[in-house]
Each structure stands twice: as structure tokens, then as C-alpha cells.
Structure 1
Amino acid sequence: MSTVLGMNQYGKAETRVVRIYRDTPMHEIRDLNVSTSLRGDFDRAHTIGDQSMIMPTDSQKNTAFAYAKTHGADSIEDYAIALGKRLVTATPAARQVRVRVQEYAWDRIGDHSFVRRGGGVRTCVVTITRGDARDEWDTQVLTGVEDLVVLNSTGSEFKGFLKDEYTTLPETDDRILATSLAATWRHTGTGVDWNRSYEAAVTTLLRTFAGTYSRALQETLYVMGVALLESQDALAEVRFSAPNKHHFLVDFSDFRVNGLTNDGEVFNAADRPCGLIEAQVIRDDAPTARDAWPAEPGFR
């Protein structure tokens, strides 16, 4: 039997980087979770244990900390681009680097006091591939939000679906539609005001979710994707992963309480099992993504 080494990569996962800006009495905070991975000619490390071309993952962690100081984190995209270029440059055997950043938001309650904000977590994934020339890079930037929990208490139906002998779900003209949304959108360039683009994108997604009558979560995701791409010309595609957070009407008929009715007011929120709806909406005139990195689970 003969064997060969297949795809491989290595890096440092989930480095927690908190950057405090103390330039004025009113401090600023950036709270990040940073993961880095390198791909390249690292076969000898696997086949004969030769570590001479390996940048230690501990060094990747230290670089993430240092770049939070030297390059700042005003936007997670610019930070990830700078960090990625440094890592692939410092590792001659690396052909590609991927930097994934999650940002946890804090709201100000004083000049130097903050409270952790609920709601969605901002994300970005930057993939940088080394070009032939010294300063030539192919940079792909994906921005997104995850754990964005949204709910419409009406304005949603689900009926007319395929049925077989195992189908017990009743059709409904009025249901709660809720999901913990993960959305990721691809930029066609890097000269972007990342913070403004992100805020505008989330606003568009939320406004569209709230203003769309839904015949299915699939339809809602598509309408949201179209609205996002129409709102920003520099976006090429958006991908959604949306677990359906089911809310089942509680049956009061067996309760021994006279006159107690449940007119669409009390629900059991069930988090599992759940339907998982995933979709991609693409601008038909946008350049195709050159993504040599293995796809993550789902569309996230």
C-alpha cells in the first residue's frame, strides 16, 4: 500500500485579544477572538518531523497580540488583513493564510466603564494568497454576523408543503418565525469603510426581516439577500445559515381551569431538533470567488 499526505493546515485557534485605547480619558475597547491558519509546503513536518519551515502557533498568537497594538483594531477587517500579510510573509513555506475574527461588542456606561452588548457577533474571514511578486497578494474578505437572534410574532405562514405517511406537522396561516441568523457577505475589493459597510448591512438585513411577509424561512432569506446586494454595489454574494427556532402553541385543553384559552399567546420555545435553512444569493455580474480554502461547515 502506498500513501501520500493530503490537504493540511495549522494555526492558532481562538486567541482572545482585548485592546483598550487609552489616548483620552474616554477609553475605547475592542474585544476580539482571533484564529489563524497557514497552508503551504509543510509536508516534511508531517512525513519526517522536520519543523524547520514551521512558524510555531505560539508565534502566531504573539503576532495577533502585537498587531493589536501596532496596527490597532479600528476595524476587524483591516486588522485581519495586516495580520495575515505578516504571517504569510514571515513563513516562507506558506502560500496562504486565513484569519478569522469575531468581535464582541460593548456599550459604554461611563468614560472607562462598559457593559457587554447582547445581539449578534460581528465576524470576518480574510484569506490571503501569496502572489508571484514579493508584494503581490490575492486578498478575499468576508464580513458577517452570527448569533443574530430575530423573531416575527406574526406575518409568517407555512402550508402547501409535501406530505407523506410520516408527516404530522399541521399547516398554519400564522406562526412565529424566529432564527439565530448567521450571514456572511463577500466584498469585491479591499478599499472599503468596513465599519460603515457592516452597520449598513446589518440594518438592511434587520429592516428586511421585519418588513417581509414570509411564506417560508427560505423565502425570507432570499428576500434579505437580494436587499443586501442591492444596497451595496461592492458586495458580490451573501450566504445564510438559519436554524429555525420553533415556537409551539401550548395546548391548554387538558388544563383543569375553566375558561382558560390560548389564543396565540403562550408558546413553548424548542431549540432542538430544529430545521436548518441555508442559502446563497449571488450578484450575477460579480467576479467569481477564488476561494482555495476548504469550505467551513455549512455556509458560515
Structure 2
Amino acid sequence: CRPVLHDHTHEDKGPLSPEVTSRLPPLDASPEEARQLGYMPHRDDYEREYDMSAEELVSSLQLNNKSEDTEIETALKLAQVDMYIRRLRERYRRKRAVRDYQLVAKFFANHRKDLKKPLTKEQRELRDNMRVFSQFLTAGEHERLINSIERERELRLRLSELLRYRSLGLTTQDEIIHYEQHVAYQRQQQLRQNKAAKLNRKSVVNKHRLYQFTFNLGQQWLCNINTGTSIKKRKKRRRPKFHRRKVHVASRRRIREQQQLSQQQLG
């Protein structure tokens, strides 16, 4: 019979685990989105890469014989090559982070507004604060870290609630449920009482306003009867905007005489 073998190795999720060194998932983008990004899927490359001027460091280098170049020139060329390699590594690191965290898919998902599960304000703030650590972790490790922090917050909140129940003398789950039901009932009764008191106060105010209005109306009616004037206000005669100016009779006669005199002189 064959022996039964058991795998006693633990799951490796460190920085050199197979999950990290394995091939990254493909870019989750439609052909139209890839065209907008300038992404070429067959080459797995972009039309415009990060730090496009990195190749200028080595584009003008010429490798000569050792007899033609001095030690200083050789060291300078090697330093330029080293700078170029560092910039290429930074470019590759950024591309790997974009692919690992699926930033392209998240970018277009935000524009389409088709997020499956909207995040709360606390979750968004936590992710914004922890974003700086994503460059040191993979996408899976970063997500597990955020979930662990959220779980820690939930446990701390639950622990504070249990300590409060303990300070009230509650030791079992049934007592806690009964206490919460009693508190909810008292809160509901308090809301009803506040609502009823508010309605009563409002009705009293309305009655007082109605009484004040009728009292003022009666006082005005009595004053009008004593003075003999009507309650209705007399409408003032509106003066038209454009009207002829009134001229005195003597002025009219003088104007007429002047007109006749001027006609006689002309005749």
C-alpha cells in the first residue's frame, strides 16, 4: 500500500511568496478604454510611459575602446547607465502597481459610477490615509491590512459596549436584549411626549394669536363707529404719470394776446 503523505508547509504570503512573484492579472479594460489610455495589449506597453525622457541619458553614449576613454569618462558613462536603470525600475514599479491594484479598472468604474458596494465616509477616509503604504505591499496584502484595521475598530467599539453593559450590572445576553428593548421603548415614549407637548404649545400659540386678532379687529370697529368713518379705507385717486400742467386764466389770456400780436406783425 502507498503511504499517506501530508503537506505540513504553511501558507507563504510574504514579500517573496509565489503569489507576489507570479504573473500579474491582465489589464481589465475594454478596447475603447485601452485606446483612450494608449495601451497596446499585444506588447503590454503604453504609447507614453512614465518618465519618457529616461532614454535621453543613454541615447548619446558611445562605447569606445579602453585606450580611447579615460577612467573618468568610463565612470561617467557607467553612472549614466546606472541612472537609466534606476529610472527604468521606477517605471516598472509603477506599471506593476497599476496592474496589481487594477487602478485602470477602478478609474473607469468611477467614471461610469457603477461601484458595486458604496463605501462609507469612515472607510473612504481610512483608505485615503493608508494609500501611502500601498507602494510597500501588494494589492492583497494592502486589502487585508485595511480589513484588519476595520475589524479592530469594530472590536474596540463592541468592547466598549460590553464594558458599559458590565458597569450597568448586565452579565448575560438575555439581560442585554431586555435592557435594549426597555431603552428603545422609553426613547419612543419620550419622543411621543415631546411631539404631543409641541403640538399643544403650537395650538396655544395659535389660539392666542386668534384672540389677539379678534380683539384688535373689535377695537378698530369701535373706533370707526365713534368717529363716524367707514372701516374700508378710501382709495386715493392716483395721479397719472403724464398730465397736462394747469395754467391760470390770466396766463392763458396773456398767451393768446401775444400770439395775436405776433400774427399781426407778420401780416
Bin for the TM-score computed over the shorter chain: under 0.3
- Tell me which protein shows more helix as a share of its residues: 2
Relative to the length of structure 2, the TM-score reads 0.22
Highest Rg: 1 or 2?
A: 2
Please identify which structure carries the higher strand content.
1
Q: When the two structures are superposed, what TM-score results if normalisation uses the length of structure 1? A: 0.21
